C-alpha cells in the first residue's frame, strides 16, 4: 500500500509512529513464539503435541509475518529510490499473500479432514506447494518485469508503472485477488464446519449420559453447546475478512480516487495501520493455540503427562479446540461409566485404563480409520480428536 497524499496532515512522523508502534510489538511477539515453538518441537516431552498439520501451517504463517513485519515498514517508510526498493516491495507482497494462503490452508484443512475424511498429512505438501507457487509466480513476474520500485507519485516503494491500468492489473493479479479469495475460502470453510455441527449434532464424549439423553437437538441448542468451538474457529475468518478485505478495498479506492485529500490520508493511515498490525494480531492468536498450550503444560509438568493427555478431552471442549466424535458401542459406554464411578481404591486403575484407550486413537488429521481390536475382541475406542 502506498503513502498516498503523504504531504497532507498528518506528517510523516505520525505515519512512522503508528507503523512502528504496531510492527515492533508484533515482531517481538512473533520472535518469542517462534523460539518457543522451536524449543517445544525439539523437546521430546512436548513434541507430540505439536505434530499437527494445522500447527505447522501456523508456524509457516508466523515466519511469513516475521518477514512481512521487517520488509513492510522499511518499504513504506523508505524515502529514497534504489534497487533495494523493488526487493522490499516484492518481499512485502510475497509474504502478505503467503501468510494469507497459510491461514486459508488451516481453515480448509479442518472440513476436509472432519467432513470429507481426507488425509491431512498427505494434503500438507499440496497446501504449502500450491500457496508458494501462487505467492511466488505473480510477484516474481512483477519484479522481473520492472513494475516494482520507487513510486514518484506517492514517494514510496510500490508499483511504479507509468500506465495506471497496467499498475492496477499488477496490483490485482499479484495480491488483491488472492488475498480476497483466501478470506472467502476461510469463511466458506467455517460455514461448512458450522453446518456439520448442526447437522450431526455432535456430542462431546465427556458429557454425562444423563445430560446427553435430555439435551435438545435443535440447531440453536447445538450452536449454543459448541459456542466456544464456533468462536475459536470463527475468529480467524473474521479477522481475515476485516484485515484483508478492508486493506484491499482501501488500496483499490486510493488508487482510483485522488479527490478529497482529507479522506485519502485517513483511509491510507487506516490501511497502513491494519497491515502493520498483522504480526501482532495473528501473534496473539498463535500464543493461545491449544496445541502450543498443551506443549507448554507438558514442559512445565512432565510428571503429569498421562494426566495431561487424559484431561485433554475435557479441557478441549472448554478451550474450544477439539471435537470428539463418540462412536463407542453401548457396551463400551457401560464399561466407561462403571470405571468412572468405581470405588476410590480402583480410581487410579480406571484413570489409567481410560488413558490407555485414549492413546490408541488414530491421528486426527489422517481421516476416519478404525483402530485395532482389543485383546478381548471388541474394537478399541474409535474416538477421533480433531484439532481446531
pLDDT of 212 reads: 45
82 and 161 share a domain? yes
Residues 145 and 207 in one domain: yes
Structural domain ending residue among the three candidates 257, 272, 296? 296
- Does this model's pTM top 0.85? My answer is no
**Residues 261 and 358 reside in one and the same domain:** no
Q: What secondary structure does DSSP assign to 77-108, as a single string?
A: H--S-SHHHHHHHHHHHHHHHHHHHHHHHHHH
Per-residue b/e over 95-119, b at no fewer than 16 CB within 10 Å? bbbbbbbbbbbbbbbbbbbbbeebe
User: Structural domain tally of the chain?
Assistant: 2
- In 3D space, the residue among 67, 60, 169, 175 whose CA is nearest the CA of residue 124 turns out to be 60
Can you give the residue range of the structural domain that contains 377? 303-387
Tell me: do 329 and 282 sit in the same domain: no
Answer with the one of 296, 311, 335 that is the final residue of a domain: 296
Question: What was the pLDDT predicted at 261?
Answer: 73
Is 5 a domain residue? no
Q: HEC string of 248-317?
A: HHHHHHHHHCCCCHHHHHHHHHHHHHHHHCHHHHHHHHHHCCHHHHHHHHHHHCHHHHHHHHHHHHHHHH
Q: Cα–Cα distance between 382 and 203 in angstroms, integer?
A: 14
Could you tell me if 344 and 281 lie in one domain? Answer: no
Residue 4 domain flag: no
> Among the listed ranges 87-91, 147-151, 176-180, 348-352, which one has the minimum average pLDDT value?
348-352
Q: pLDDT tens-digit profile of 269-305?
A: 899 999 999 999 999 999 999 899 999 999 988 776 5
CA atoms within 13 A on the CB side of 321: 20
146 exposure class (CB count in 10 Å sphere: 0-12, 13-18, 19+): exposed
Task: Report residue 138's pLDDT band, with 50, 70 and 90 as the boundaries.
Answer: very high
92 lies in the same domain as 240? yes
Asked if residue 244 and residue 127 are part of one domain, the reply reads yes
Domain match, 204 and 228 both: yes
106 and 51, same domain (yes or no): yes
* CA distance linking residue 32 with residue 49, whole number of Å: 19
What is the CATH classification number for the domain harbouring 163? 1.20.1070.10
pLDDT at 380 > cutoff 70: no
Determine the pLDDT at residue 67: 96
Cell of 368: 476416519
Question: What does the alpha-carbon distance between residue 381 and residue 357 come to, in Å, rounded to a whole number?
Answer: 6
Phi (first) and psi of residue 199, to 5 degrees: -70, -45
In a domain, 67, yes or no: yes
- pLDDT tens-digit readout, 162-173: 788 888 899 899
Task: Mark whether 79 and 168 lie in a shared domain.
Answer: yes
**Domain assignment present for 1:** no
The angle at the Cα of 338, spanning 336 to 342, to the nearest 5 degrees, equals 120
The confidence score (pLDDT) of residue 50 equals: 93
Does residue 7 form part of some domain? Answer: no
- Opening angle at CA 224, ends 58 and 120, nearest 5: 30
**Rounded to whole angstroms, how far apart are CA atoms 344 and 348?**
8
Domain boundary (275, 296, 317) is at 296
Question: And the C-alpha cell for 188?
Answer: 466458506
Cell 498483522 -> residue: 278
The pLDDT of residue 310 is above 60: no
Q: What is the pLDDT of residue 268?
A: 86
For residues 282 and 341, state if they share a domain: no
316 in a structural domain: yes
3-class secondary-structure state, position 67: helix
CA distance 265 to 245: 18
Percent of the chain with pLDDT over 70: 66
What pLDDT was estimated at residue 324? 41
315-337: per-residue pLDDT in tens? 443 333 334 443 333 343 343 44
Residue 6 lies in a domain: no
Rounded to the nearest 5 degrees, what angle is found at the Cα of 162, between the Cα atoms of 159 and 167? Answer: 45
DSSP 162-195: S-HHHHHHHHIIIIIHHHHHHHHHHHHHHHHHHH
Residues contacting 97, CB < 8 A, separation 6+: 134, 135, 139, 174, 175, 178, 179
Residues 61 and 172 in one domain: yes
Amino acid at each position: 500500500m502506498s503513502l498516498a497524499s503523504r504531504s497532507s496532515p498528518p506528517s510523516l512522523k505520525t505515519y512512522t509512529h503508528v507503523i512502528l508502534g504496531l510492527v515492533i510489538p508484533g515482531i517481538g511477539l512473533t520472535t518469542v513464539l517462534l523460539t518457543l515453538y522451536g524449543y517445544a518441537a525439539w523437546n521430546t516431552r512436548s513434541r507430540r503435541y505439536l505434530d499437527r498439520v494445522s500447527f505447522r501451517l501456523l508456524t509457516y504463517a508466523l515466519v511469513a509475518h516475521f518477514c512481512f513485519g521487517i520488509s513492510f515498514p522499511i518499504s513504506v517508510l523508505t524515502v529514497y529510490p534504489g534497487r533495494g526498493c523493488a526487493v522490499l516491495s516484492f518481499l512485502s507482497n510475497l509474504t502478505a499473500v503467503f501468510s494469507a494462503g497459510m491461514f486459508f490452508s488451516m481453515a480448509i484443512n479442518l472440513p476436509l479432514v472432519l467432513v470429507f475424511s481426507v488425509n491431512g498429512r498427505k494434503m500438507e505438501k499440496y497446501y504449502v506447494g500450491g500457496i508458494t507457487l501462487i505467492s511466488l509466480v505473480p510477484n516474481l513476474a512483477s519484479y522481473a518485469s520492472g513494475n516494482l520500485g520507487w513510486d514518484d507519485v506517492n514517494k514510496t516503494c510500490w508499483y511504479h508503472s507509468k500506465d495506471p491500468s497496467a499498475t492496477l492489473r499488477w496490483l490485482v493479479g499479484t495480491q488483491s485477488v488472492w488475498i480476497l479469495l483466501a478470506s472467502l475460502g476461510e469463511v466458506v470453510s467455517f460455514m461448512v464446519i458450522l453446518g456439520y455441527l448442526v447437522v450431526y449434532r455432535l456430542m462431546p464424549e465427556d458429557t454425562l449420559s444423563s445430560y446427553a439423553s435430555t439435551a435438545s437437538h435443535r440447531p440453536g441448542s447445538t450452536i449454543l453447546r459448541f459456542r466456544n468451538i464456533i468462536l475459536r474457529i470463527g475468529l480467524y475468518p473474521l479477522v481475515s475478512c476485516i484485515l484483508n478485505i478492508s486493506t484491499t478495498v482501501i488500496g483499490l479506492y486510493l488508487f482510483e480516487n485522488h479527490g478529497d485529500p482529507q479522506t485519502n490520508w485517513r483511509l491510507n493511515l487506516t490501511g497502513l495501520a491494519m497491515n502493520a498490525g498483522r504480526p501482532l494480531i495473528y501473534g496473539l492468536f498463535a500464543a493461545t493455540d491449544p496445541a502450543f498450550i498443551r506443549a507448554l503444560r507438558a514442559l512445565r509438568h512432565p510428571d503429569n503427562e498421562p494426566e495431561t493427555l487424559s484431561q485433554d478431552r475435557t479441557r478441549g471442549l472448554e478451550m474450544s479446540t477439539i471435537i470428539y466424535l463418540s462412536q463407542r458401542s453401548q457396551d463400551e459406554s457401560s464399561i466407561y461409566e462403571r470405571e468412572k464411578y468405581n470405588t476410590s481404591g480402583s480410581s487410579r486403575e480406571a484413570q489409567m485404563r481410560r488413558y490407555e484407550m485414549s492413546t490408541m486413537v488414530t491421528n486426527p488429521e489422517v481421516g476416519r480409520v478404525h483402530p485395532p481390536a482389543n485383546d478381548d475382541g471388541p474394537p478399541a475406542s474409535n474416538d477421533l480428536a480433531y484439532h481446531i
